[in-house]
Structure 1
Amino acid sequence: MAVMQFQQLAYFLAVAETRHFTRAAERMRVAQPSLSQQIRALERDVGAALFHRIRGNVTLTEAGETLLPIARRILAETESAYRAIRELDELGRGRVRLGATPSLCTGLLPAMLAAFRRDYPGIELVLHESGSRDLQTALSEGGLDLAMIVDSRVHDDARLESRALFVEDLVVISPKDAPAPVRGRMPIAALRGQPLVMFRQGYDLREATVAACRAEGFDPLFAIEGGEMDAVLELVQAGLGLAVVPSTVVGDRFRRTRFTEPGLNRVVRLAYRRDVEQPRAVRALQEAVVQYLGGGVARLPPGMRPLVGR
């Protein structure tokens, strides 16, 4: 069917719904004589009158009643096809602003985003690295499309929706060439009096460590505070103190000491705005994250347990 015939069907539907040629022309933003001309051309094409025009009253003929549901279906399917094509084009040139904590940027994200990039090379990825509190603020204010943040933060903001991705164990790290702080697993109470390298305000790791210590009846001792993830790791390596970090960032550089059961861990969630319709490129990354973690694509680091189905 030619483009003009689609336009004729759209004009026909406007008249059928308004029962008025002038109002239909206003809806379609065309001059009324042009609309009437196209309706007459459509009637010639189908070989039957579509409207009764009696003293200003416009009603459908039997042929018009027959054509009406067909026209609606054709126009709806055409719009769906255009929308699908636009979304495919968007996947070829979209842009996604993703926020993540420094530990995720160090441990999980490089391999995951590399896999996504192979599937969608045209989508521009913008990565914003910060603590969970800052990421939540940026997401709520529209500065991010998605954010991987710690569970405790998500429920503070009614504008956010989220999905649990995985549980990540927290461990104590110390220089590899230094004695272990304790033999075997370490109770949280053993952190009492130990100098700690502490993250800056706004990091969930800082708050988790402080809360765990206070639950045992003491305030932690800070040897130095205010660092980002890379700085904390380097300061521990230099011997300034211990640090509580996700097990996924430790690697082979440090001595790793696990906590006694039930230990310390955190749930990482993928958060997004509930009041915003996400572009196709953003939805594609959401689906890719879930597939990567739960579909057997990834070899997840030790200490990380997925919460999405495998």
Structure 2
Amino acid sequence: MQFQQLAYFLAVADTRHFTRAAEQTRVAQPSLSQQIRALERDVGATLFHRVRGNVTLTEAGETLLPIARRILAETEAAYRAIRELDELGRGRVRLGATPSLCTGLLPVMLAAFRRTYPGIELVLHESGSRDLQTELSEGGLDLAMIVDSRVRDDHHLESTPLFVEELVVISPKHEPAPVRGRLAIQDLKDRPLVMFRRGYDLREATVNACRAAGFDPAFAIEGGEMDAVLELVQAGLGLAVVPSTVVGDRFRMTQFTEPGLSRVVRLAFRRDVELTRAARALQEAIVRFLAGEGGLGHLPPGIRSLAGR
């Protein structure tokens, strides 16, 4: 089994097409097909169902897919680590984060990091916690900021708590507050909510809290990502439950009565792959920022740091 064969295998698995895979890997299609057949002989199993106009993975192919991704990702990580031995003035870090973090706290944190390490290239992948953990496990990311309630049992991954983030209710600034003072979960009953798509961490937190209070929430509209939900609330379609860090000065914010709603954000990484120097630098910078060290900024309201504990 050769690294190049695995690269060809991943290209076919991703494109589901031998010709497009050959174009993507810049090799002649007959050569690519020959290498795939050689790989199948090495592993002793057929990796693709080849039906005219339709290429799909066999059970053996599905089994090899995440392993191949990890092998190639670890190989690339090794090359990057060696290239970065001379200095920390260059490098590349692939960071995953949920949409709410990308909208809220993360830009300030990355700006602080960028000022300290201008030569390090940052690649940001925005997705849900579950998808980020899969990509991290398969070697597609170096670090991922995920929500605690969505941390799954994966022996490849390790995570450390960063901060507790308060969840609040937002409404249009030009409209009256939904209640005077703080709002109880029961106050959301029969109030139309702008709701995130299925699989979204915030959707699950809101729906579960309402059901624990004895009712199912009413949706004015559902299916949006973070940016869409904020715009729909501003347009007056309904209320939404969001992290306090995304509110800014665009909305009227109403806090929940104690103990309220909150979530823990964690930083996840591969336990079986050593981080590159650039990735370690970002990891340490995130912890320092949240601990308020080094003049890197201050935390917005609604955040309680757990970093360094």
Is 1:301 matched with 2:308?
no
Q: Secondary structure at the match of 2:86?
A: helix
Alignment-mate amino acid for residue 175 of structure 2: A
2: CA distance, partners of 1:300 / 1:156: 30
- Alignment-derived partner of residue 77 in structure 1: none
The CA deviation at 1:207 is 0.6
Is 1:211 matched with 2:188?
no
2: CA distance, partners of 1:85 / 1:119: 22
1:247–1:303: 8 Å Cα contact kept in structure 2? yes
- Alignment-derived partner of residue 62 in structure 2: none
- Alignment-derived partner of residue 234 in structure 1: 231
2: CA distance, partners of 1:89 / 1:295: 30
1: CA distance, partners of 2:273 / 2:87: 17
1:133–1:203: 8 Å Cα contact kept in structure 2? no
1: CA distance, partners of 2:178 / 2:188: 9
RMSD over equivalenced CA pairs, Å: 1.7
2: CA distance, partners of 1:225 / 1:140: 30
Is 1:167 matched with 2:198?
no
Alignment-mate amino acid for residue 239 of structure 2: L
Is 1:125 matched with 2:122?
yes
2: CA distance, partners of 1:93 / 1:291: 20
The CA deviation at 1:118 is 1.8
Alignment-mate amino acid for residue 301 of structure 1: P
Gapped runs of 5+ residues in structure 2? Answer: 1-80
Deviations 1:43-102 (A, max 9, x none): xxxxxxxxxxxxxxxxxxxxxxxxxxxxxxxxxxxxxxxxx9964436232111101112
- Alignment-derived partner of residue 260 in structure 1: 257
Alignment-mate amino acid for residue 192 of structure 1: K
- Alignment-derived partner of residue 27 in structure 1: none
- Alignment-derived partner of residue 174 in structure 2: 177
For residues 153 and 170 of structure 1, do their structure 2 counterparts lie closer, same or farther at Cα, with a shift above 3 Å needed? same
The CA deviation at 1:230 is 0.7
Q: Secondary structure at the match of 1:211?
A: helix
Percentage identity across paired residues of the two chains = 82
1: CA distance, partners of 2:234 / 2:133: 30
* TM-score for the superposition, normalised by structure 2: 0.70
Is 1:291 matched with 2:288?
yes
The 10-residue stretch of structure 1 (136-145 or 184-193) with the greater mean CA deviation from structure 2: 136-145
Moved over 6 A (4+): none
Alignment of 1:23-42 (within 5 A): none
Q: Secondary structure at the match of 2:307?
A: coil
Is 1:225 matched with 2:225?
no
Deviations 1:15-49 (A, max 9, x none): xxxxxxxxxxxxxxxxxxxxxxxxxxxxxxxxxxx
1: CA distance, partners of 2:197 / 2:208: 15
- Alignment-derived partner of residue 88 in structure 2: 91
The CA deviation at 1:295 is 3.7
Alignment-mate amino acid for residue 203 of structure 1: Y
For residues 156 and 224 of structure 1, do their structure 2 counterparts lie closer, same or farther at Cα, with a shift above 3 Å needed? farther
2: CA distance, partners of 1:89 / 1:100: 29
Deviations 1:223-260 (A, max 9, x none): 11111111100000001110000011101111111000
Q: Secondary structure at the match of 1:89?
A: coil
Alignment of 1:101-180 (within 5 A): 101-180=98-177
2: CA distance, partners of 1:230 / 1:156: 30
2:130–2:151: 8 Å Cα contact kept in structure 1? no
Gapped runs of 5+ residues in structure 1? Answer: 1-83
Alignment-mate amino acid for residue 299 of structure 1: H
Q: Secondary structure at the match of 1:275?
A: coil
Deviations 1:247-296 (A, max 9, x none): 11101111111000000000100001112111111111111111111143
Aligned length: 227
State which of 186, 189, 193 in structure 2 corresponds to 1:192: 189
The CA deviation at 1:116 is 1.1
Alignment of 1:37-52 (within 5 A): none
1: CA distance, partners of 2:124 / 2:200: 17
- The structure that has the greater radius of gyration is 1
